[in-house]
Amino acid sequence: MKNSKLYPILNILFFILSLFINFKSVTGGLGGKSIRELSDKYANLFTPSNQTFAIWSLIYFLLSVSLLVQFDKKRQSEILNGPIFILSCILNGAWIVAWQLEYISLSLLIMIGLLLALAYINKSIMLENKWLTKLTFGIYLGWICIATIANATALLQSFSIDLPMNYQQGITLTIILVGAGIVAGVMHKLKNPFLSIAAAWAFYGIFNKQIDSYPSIAYIAVICSALITVIGIKITISLIKN
Residue 239 has pLDDT above 70, yes or no: yes
For the chain, the distance separating the N- and C-terminal CA atoms, rounded to the nearest angstrom, is 34
The per-residue pLDDT for range 100-149, each reduced to its tens digit, is: 888 999 999 999 999 999 999 999 998 887 889 999 999 999 999 999 99
- Which amino acid, residue 141? L
**pLDDT on residue 1:** 44
Q: Where are the domains of the chain?
A: 6-241
**pLDDT on residue 97:** 92
Share of the chain above pLDDT 90, in %: 65
The per-residue pLDDT for range 83-100, each reduced to its tens digit, is: 999 999 999 999 999 998
The pTM for the full model equals 0.92
What mean pLDDT, rounded, does the chain reach? 90
**pLDDT on residue 112:** 97
The Cβ-side half-sphere exposure at 109, using a 13 Å CA radius, reads 6
Instruction: State how far the alpha carbon of 185 is from the alpha carbons of 46, 114, 149, 211, 236, in Å.
Output: 20, 19, 15, 27, 15
Q: Band of the pLDDT at 228, cuts 50, 70, 90?
A: very high
Residue 3 has pLDDT above 80, yes or no: no
Q: Which long-range contacts (CB under 8 A, 24 or more apart) does 115-123 make?
A: 115/141, 115/144, 115/145, 115/148, 117/84, 117/87, 117/88, 117/91, 118/88, 118/144, 119/186, 119/190, 120/79, 120/84, 121/79, 121/80, 121/84, 121/85, 121/88, 122/190, 122/192, 123/190
**Nearest residue to 83 (alpha-carbon basis) of 6, 192, 190:** 6
**pLDDT on residue 164:** 82
The per-residue pLDDT for range 165-176, each reduced to its tens digit, is: 888 899 999 999
